[in-house]
Amino acid sequence: MYETKMNKGHLACAGCGATIAMGLASGKFPEKSVVVIPASCWSVIGGPLPYRTLNIPSVHTAFACAPAVATGIYYALAKKYKDHRVIVWAGDGSSFDIGLQSLSGALERGIPFTYICYDNEAYMNTGIQRSSATPLYTITTTTPENAFKKENKKNFLEIAIAHNIEYAATATIAFPDDLKKKVEKAVSTKGPSVIHIFSPCPTGQGFKEMESVKISRLAGISGFFPIYEYENEKYKINIEPDFSRLKEYITMQKRFASIDDESLKKIEKIVIQNFNRLKKKSLLSLNN
C-alpha cells in the first residue's frame, strides 16, 4: 500500500516532483508531526482555504524563517509530548537563499527537527527565477546576460553538514525506497537532520510532465545530483554515477538549451570534480 499523509487532490502542476516527494516522504513522518512550510510551491500545493492537502498539522510561514518557526513549535510541544517531530518542508529558494541564516541557527541550536529541502533548482512558484540552487548554464527569467546563469550551484548539504549534525542525505523521487529509508532515519535522529531532495519541475526546467521520474533518475545516475548520505560522521555514496549519461540528462531539458559542446565539457568537469570530492570523503569514512 502507498503509505502517505497526503489527502487526495492538490493544486500542483502535472508532473510536479515536489508533490511526488511529499507523497513519498510524508509516509515516514511520525504520527505526531507538524510540517512547517515557508513560501514556496507548497504554499499553493498545500491547498487554499478551506482545503488542506496534508493530513497532519501544517504551518505556513514567511519565506526566511521556517526553521525559527519550527524552533518555537518544538519547544512548545516538548512541554506536552515526547514523541513529536517538527519537519520543515522548504524549496530551494528558501533553503539556499533567503532562509539559510535561519536554518543555520536552528542546526546550531541542535534541537530535534528535520529539514527537508525539495529542490527544483529555481524559484519555480513565481515563474522560474534563478536561485543559488540553479546550476551553471541554466536559462531563467532573471539571468539576462547571455540568458543563462554563469555561477555554480551552491553546495547546500555540505553547508548543513558543517554544523556537526548527525544525519544528512540527498535523494530523488526516482529512487522511492532510498528516499523513504532516508526520511525514516532523518525523523528518528536525536538532533537535527537535513534531507536534500531533487524534485524536478516540468514547467520550469522544460521537459514533458510524464518525464519527471526519468529526469530524476538521470540526475542521480549521471552524477549531476549525487545520491549520498552522511551518518555519524561517515559519508556513503548510494549510487555510483555513470558520467556518460550527463549529455542525455542535459539535452532532455529546455533550460539547458544554450549549452554547446564546450559548456557541456565544463559541466562534466564540475560534476566529476564534485563527485571526486565526495568520493574522497566516503573513502576516508571507510578507512576510519
Partner 1 sequence: MKKEVLKGNYVVAYAVKQSDIDFIPVYPITPQTSIIEKLADFKAKNEIKADYVPMESEHSVMAACIGASLANARVFTATSGQGLLYMHELLHWASGSRLPIVMSVVNRAVAPGWNIWMDQSDTISQRDTGWIQIYTSNHQEVYDHIIMAYKLAEKINLPVMVILDAFFLSHTISDLIIEDDEKIKKFLPPKKDLPFGIDFNNPRSIGSLSDPSNYMEFRKKIADAFIEAESEIEKIYDEFNIIFNRKYEVYEKYMDHDADYIIVTTGTLFENSMLAADSLRKSGIKTGVLKVRFLRPFIKNNLRNFLKGKKVIVIDRNYSFGKGGVFAEELRSIINEDVYSVIAGLGGRDVPPKTIEQIVIKVIKEKKDFWETNIYV
DSSP state of 97: I
Our finding on whether 193 is near partner 1 (CB under 8 A) is no
Q: Considering CB under 8 A, how many residues would be counted as binding partner 1?
A: 45
- Could you write out the DSSP letters of every residue in 4-23? -SBPS---PPTT-HHHHHHH
Our finding on whether 6 is near partner 1 (CB under 8 A) is no
Our finding on whether 71 is near partner 1 (CB under 8 A) is yes
Q: Which amino acid, one-letter code, is at 34?
A: V
Q: Which is nearer to partner 1, 70 or 187 (CB)?
A: 70
Our finding on whether 102 is near partner 1 (CB under 8 A) is yes
Part in contact with partner 1 (CB under 8 A); list of ranges 64-72, 147-155, 262-270, 273-281: 64-72
Grid coordinates standing for 235? 559519508
* Residue corresponding to grid cell 545530483: 225
Our finding on whether 165 is near partner 1 (CB under 8 A) is no
Part in contact with partner 1 (CB under 8 A); list of ranges 52-60, 134-142, 245-253, 280-288: 52-60
Q: Are 173 and 24 in contact (CB under 8 A)?
A: yes
Our finding on whether 110 is near partner 1 (CB under 8 A) is no
Grid coordinates standing for 58? 501544517
Helix axis angle for 212-221 and 17-26, nearest 10°, is: 80
Peptide bond into 50 cis (omega under 30): yes
Q: What's CA 100's distance to the chain center, in Å?
A: 13
Our finding on whether 13 is near partner 1 (CB under 8 A) is no
Our finding on whether 76 is near partner 1 (CB under 8 A) is yes
Q: Does an H or E element contain 104, and which?
A: helix 100-109
Among residues 44, 159, 257, 264, the one that binds partner 1 under rule CB under 8 A: 44
Part in contact with partner 1 (CB under 8 A); list of ranges 50-58, 216-224, 260-268, 275-283: 50-58
Part in contact with partner 1 (CB under 8 A); list of ranges 59-67, 153-161, 209-217, 225-233: 59-67
Calpha distance 170→220 (Å, rounded): 10
DSSP state of 229: E
Among residues 4, 13, 57, 264, the one that binds partner 1 under rule CB under 8 A: 57
Calpha distance 32→81 (Å, rounded): 9
Part in contact with partner 1 (CB under 8 A); list of ranges 72-80, 227-235, 261-269, 273-281: 72-80
Site residues (vs partner 1, CB under 8 A):
31-32, 34, 36, 43-44, 46-49, 51-62, 64-79, 84, 101-102, 104-105, 108-109
